[in-house]
Structure 1
Amino acid sequence: MLALLAALTAILPLVGVVMAALSGETADIAARDLTRYALTSAALALMVAVLTGVTGSVAAWLVVMHRFPGRNLFAWALALPLAAPAFAVAYAYADLFDVAGDLRMWMRPALGFDMPFEMRTLYGAAFILSCAFYPYVYLAMRAAFVNQSVHALEAARTLGCTPRQAFLRAALPLARPALAAGVALAVMETLADYGAVQFLAVQTLTTGVVRAWSVYGSTASAAQFALPLLGAAALLMWLERWGRKGRGFESPSARWRPLPTTALAGVKAWGATAFCLALLTFGLLLPAGWLAWSSLDVTPEWPRIGGAAWRTLTMGAVGALVTVVLAAALALGARSMPLAARIASLGYATPGAVMAIGLLVPAAFIWRTFPGAASGFGMGLVLLIYAYAARLMAAALEPIDAGLARVTPNMVWAARNLGRSEGGAARAVQLPVAWGSLLTAALVVFIDVLKELPATLILRPFNFDTLAVLANNYALDERLPQAGWPSLIIVLMALPAVVWLTRKVAASRPGAPA
């Protein structure tokens, strides 16, 4: 029953989107712009998929299979851009490379040339989102390479393959499921992004959803923009699950053998270092450094920032707690109700803006039915937590499932034979064994809630600004130095959790770089 309740929690906003789209209201805005927005979203997703797939795979292969200067540092540091919201990266690059910015004003007379492309374009957005989202592919591929069979690599080398050929003909095909899963996650985040593409003036389906609702006040139009996103979400979740069907050929006996690594020297060694350093620089160091440098010129509004920081931490903690409770219930009931887990998984691929629009339909019904009890500040917070849980339940479900997999049926039956009920066995045996995985799931959700923008913009109560909303408001007013302060605080809040999570990947195999 709890698993069914958790699945219904995730599916209700999606049903609300379909109901709003089919409500019969006039939706001229959606009919006129839907194709253009959809094509832009598809082009952006394709470019991000290619860039993140290539850079993330190469970085993972270098770190896992080679020794070069800085390898142990890059092993965990390459995932740090996950702590930076995509909209913060967009603010930094747009300000740094603006036509009237200090850098380009210096380049034109001093160097005699200008930048070949603009950041406030589709290509600029693809570059920025790739810098922000390549860690999804890197972490998936690194885990795949770390746990790959040594036998396959040794066989490839024995048959005369060079290290590059062994990568292309053996390691990469075996890691194809992880590549598909990592690219799918990067594309999901690209389609769900609002803050970066909206600031860069790239009109995607997600910006169409928010624009139709906030500017034109049309829930039906917003829902029609959301329908293609739901279809894309279903396709991406299918691809991600297909990628995790265990198509790789792993040998349990080879798991505990140290991976053979190649020591790089000379140009190759420093080339590998330069490649990894470039990814880390473009994804985190350069945008965060520029935001920090430009923010020094302004006096931060500490009362507003302090209040927003407290609200962000509170919503992150509460959202993580509620989401993990629902995900744990779903994971415990997944064996008897596998369809419930698949339904709930659709939420993670669904943008936050779509979740928010879907919740407006049942919320409107509640407001009409219970006008006194359902109005006010509290109802807005409940809806916001609901949106977080519905979207991020699948993200919490994966690590919890992995933790519960360590519990054998005999352990559960032993508890039942000692008089425990099904719920009692879960509390006494299953959840304590999976405690580390529950913490991992909570941190994953916490990081995502810190960076969530569109759902918070739509559903938050009046005058309830989180750090993401505050940064967005500053950016809309072209006060980018002021936007740097809340953006950097989000990064500082998320960094410890990201470091802890990424260092856990190497623990799955002894001898891997930590």
Structure 2
Amino acid sequence: MQGYNGSINTVQAVEVMKSKLTLWDASAVLLAVPVALPVLAILISFFGGSGDTFGHLATTVLPDYLLNTVLLMLLVGVIALMVGVPTAWLTARYRFPGSRVFPLLLVLPLAAPAYVLGYVYADLLDYTGLVQTSLRALWGLSSLPPIRSLPGAALVIAFAVYPYIFLLARVSFSQQAANHILVAKTLGADSGRVFWKVVLPVARPAIVGGLALVLMETVADYGVVEHYGVQTFTTGIFRTWFAMGSPSGALQLAACLFVIAALLVTLEEMSRRGQLANPVAPVPVALEALSGWRSWMASLICLVPVMIGFIVPVTALLLDAVAEGDALDVARLVSLISNTLLVALIAAGICVAAAVWLAYAARRTEQPLIRSGIRLATLGYAIPGMVLAVGLLQPLATFDRSLATFILESFETNIGLLLTGSLGGLILVYLARFLTVAFNNVQSNLIQVNARYDEVAATLGAPPSRILRRIHMPLLLPGLGAALLVVFVDVIKELPATLVLRPFNFDTLATRVFRLASDERLAEASTAALLIVLLGIIPTLFLTKR
């Protein structure tokens, strides 16, 4: 009887904890507000006026922006699926030459930003590039189709982002029980029929989730499409703001792109349904050994994406860096590296801390206000960095002007602009962009912590901060390290937001690469591009081994 009363008290304590709005929960909402500012500014701008700019865009270039963006998404999605799914299936279920190392090699393209691959292949495959010049000299072949085109941009982006599909699909293929496959083969199904009718439907949620991430990265790309002359929403936003001088028109274009991003978020969430369906006890899967030409074909299928997505571009960068490279002195190069590491480490630390705060608030409470605030704050990864940066400029400028006016009138002191064009504004847009990445990592680890720990601690009167510090943080440390590394790599590679919001005379490796590549000084850009890849490769390999 005593135990029965104790369990009722525990349940009551937990119910009170989840229904009562505490200072902790309120602070989580306050934390979500500045992160959600760019999203809110974009949504508000959709109903605001932009003069005749948006009407002019809608009747001239907007249809091209929409068509090119959709076509680019379709091409990248198809190519990434054709690369990611077969390689995931081969490495998850078969033994062949190189099968042990290919799971690591196939994720290496994540260390290289798509725009770096784009610059390398534009240099190699242009009419005056090494490949076409060699083909004309050796065999007298006519020119190849232009690489600076929508299909060319799609190929480059696809081989940079296919690892998202590969990773999720491979995990699904590896975790599937062998029972289904054994039963299907017992009933006479061959390997092809087993794959299409049994394995692929079970892996569908993981594959669609990876595809959604691929499409989000495609929509967010600016470096490749700008360099390849493809008119998409991201290039249109940049041109409308900086060339046409219409911030409101750029924000309304950003709102159109936000609709596409929201659809992709919905697709990703729908893909999670049914991931845990496995109604029978799992039987471990024994890897099947391939022999003869099949084994070498499997090796070739896995080698081609590694060659195109990593080995060829990195080798080209290395040769250019050794032969010519950037003419910067050592002090300037060290400054670029230190600036990159500075913003990456600060942004990663803040993102992880904010993610822990929000994830724990979501665990503690069922309050609709809290959950809505967290949901809004974690939409950023689906929104291109260009959109977030443009959406953040106006709120920051308004805040700076109001604060400067207040201090000038009250204390007769001119403080200037504190956030606009400062490191703080840049970190804030990184937080808005990459908080989702850290939040998903932290939340997935927090879900694995038994809720009974919280219930017992709440019954004993422990406040939320103590429960988090004494119970959850020790259990979350491995997951926090992974979240920190993911955000660190993403910030190093981020280009559009850095271009728009970086402080005056503050350059990173990404902006250095963009500036030189825009001037067609691709050999000089190789040094900074190679450093970006090197900074990203170690965290990428570490996360893969986990």
TM-score under structure 1 length normalisation: 0.94
1:126–1:355 CA distance, 2 compared to 1 (3 A) = same
Residue 334 of structure 1 contacts residue 340 of structure 1 at CA under 8 Å; is this kept in 2?
no
Distance in 1 separating the partners of 2:76 and 2:178: 31
Please list, as runs of the form range in 1=range in 2, the aligned pairs for 1:10-409 lying within 5 A after superposition: 10-26=35-51, 27-28=53-54, 30-31=57-58, 32-114=60-142, 116-247=144-275, 249-250=277-278, 253-254=281-282, 257-300=283-326, 301=328, 302-335=330-363, 336=365, 337-371=370-404, 372-373=414-415, 375=417, 380-409=422-451
SS of the residue corresponding to residue 271 of structure 1 reads helix
CA deviations over 1:148-178 (Å, ceiling 9, x no partner): 1222222222222222221111111001101
1:339 to partner: Cα distance = 3.1
CA deviations over 1:258-289 (Å, ceiling 9, x no partner): 32221111111001101111010101111111
Distance in 1 separating the partners of 2:331 and 2:468: 44
Residue 30 of structure 1 contacts residue 222 of structure 1 at CA under 8 Å; is this kept in 2?
no
Letter in 2 for 1:353: M
1:39 to partner: Cα distance = 0.9
Distance in 1 separating the partners of 2:181 and 2:374: 35
SS of the residue corresponding to residue 71 of structure 1 reads coil
1:245 to partner: Cα distance = 1.9
Root mean square deviation of aligned Cα: 1.7
Q: Name the residue aligned to 2:10.
A: none
Q: Name the residue aligned to 1:481.
A: 523
1:378 to partner: Cα distance = 8.1
Q: Name the residue aligned to 1:502.
A: 544
Q: Name the residue aligned to 2:511.
A: 469
Letter in 2 for 1:191: V
Distance in 1 separating the partners of 2:101 and 2:324: 33
Task: Report % sequence identity.
Answer: 37
CA deviations over 1:393-442 (Å, ceiling 9, x no partner): 11111111111112112112333344421121011111221111111111
Distance in 1 separating the partners of 2:155 and 2:325: 31
Please identify, of 163-172 and 63-72, the stretch whose mean Cα deviation from structure 2 is larger.
163-172
1:345 to partner: Cα distance = 3.2
Distance in 1 separating the partners of 2:143 and 2:292: 31
Q: Name the residue aligned to 2:33.
A: 8
Unaligned runs of 5+ in 2: 1-25, 405-413
1:163–1:115 CA distance, 2 compared to 1 (3 A) = farther
Distance in 1 separating the partners of 2:57 and 2:83: 36
Residue 141 of structure 1 contacts residue 179 of structure 1 at CA under 8 Å; is this kept in 2?
yes
Q: Name the residue aligned to 1:449.
A: 491
Decide which of 401, 407, 432 is 2:474's aligned counterpart: 432
Please identify, of 465-474 and 334-343, the stretch whose mean Cα deviation from structure 2 is larger.
334-343
Distance in 2 separating the partners of 1:443 and 1:231: 29
Residue 319 of structure 1 contacts residue 388 of structure 1 at CA under 8 Å; is this kept in 2?
yes
Residue 85 of structure 2 contacts residue 169 of structure 2 at CA under 8 Å; is this kept in 1?
yes
Distance in 1 separating the partners of 2:154 and 2:391: 28
CA deviations over 1:22-52 (Å, ceiling 9, x no partner): 4323225533322211110110001111111
Provide the aligned length of Structure 1 versus Structure 2. Answer: 502
Unaligned runs of 5+ in 1: 505-514
1:482–1:57 CA distance, 2 compared to 1 (3 A) = same
Residue 400 of structure 2 contacts residue 418 of structure 2 at CA under 8 Å; is this kept in 1?
no
Residue 30 of structure 1 contacts residue 224 of structure 1 at CA under 8 Å; is this kept in 2?
no
